[in-house]
Copies of this chain bind each other. A is one copy, B any other.
């Protein structure tokens, strides 16, 4: 790990009572162990093994007070989440994670032990998907902690990776699980849907996929925007994908559970778009939940039981913005 930075005011030591960044990196490299290649920690560059067909990569930044609360959540869980949301991007593309880099700006009051716990969480979550941390950048500062992970992934065997942009009118929309109310706790324990994504890609030849980070409505809209189409959600199907947490949260907020399903984020389930003639039995076997269909009209609509359609608001996190 290098520590480029202005030396006049940089505090790269996450624990002023300890022996500084070099000691931290030494302990880190020891902890992260065999996953770290010959070039990796302690070098400017880490190796990425050649992959026929090329790699894909993605980066996600998490901030204390925004994506996690260090006063409330354990550092190991915070580390796990930071890796999981990155792996969720790999899942959205139906790709297989290969390796990760982890850069941090640690609050300078953080102890070295807590900093190591953070990295252990990152490592543990990555290890579950054979995705070692092969390098990174350690910094500290007087502000809240920031974690930025970059993941490289490869396509699965002979299957192409999946983007947001391939949906066509008449395609069917599914979810890998129920959504809403993640704030009750699930938002800190996301499971990247990598395994199911690979199965979906092998069996259903999906047209488009995305993971639900900002909310069902807005992330479905991202598919519509990338694909140049619209989408209609069936009311009955929508009620069927409402997570029990959305119902529990609804009792607190007084909003309809459906609102939480549509507009809460951080579920990290996948929206899966397949051709209209994709085998319905395979969809069932994979546990996919039907939601609606892709339309020509560039709008997001809700279709009631009687067939009448009304426009759905397109918002997610934007609802909460300043």
Contacts and interface: CB of A to CB of B under 8 A. Distances in A.
A211 B4 CA distance: 9
Given A51-B50, A108-B322, A135-B58, A9 B164 contact: no
Contact of A60 (B48, B55, B137): B137
Interface string A157-168: 000010111000
A92 to B, nearest CB: 4
Interface in A111-146: 135-137, 139, 141-144, 146
Interface size band for A: 35 or more
A55 B55 contact: yes
Interface stretch (A83-91, A282-290, A300-308): A83-91
A63 B3 contact: no
Contacts of A199: none
Interface of A: 2-13, 16, 20-22, 38-39, 42-63, 65-68, 85, 88-90, 92-93, 95, 101-105, 108, 135-137, 139, 141-144, 146, 148, 150, 152-153, 161, 163-165, 183, 187, 210-211, 213-215, 222, 225-226, 263-266, 316-322
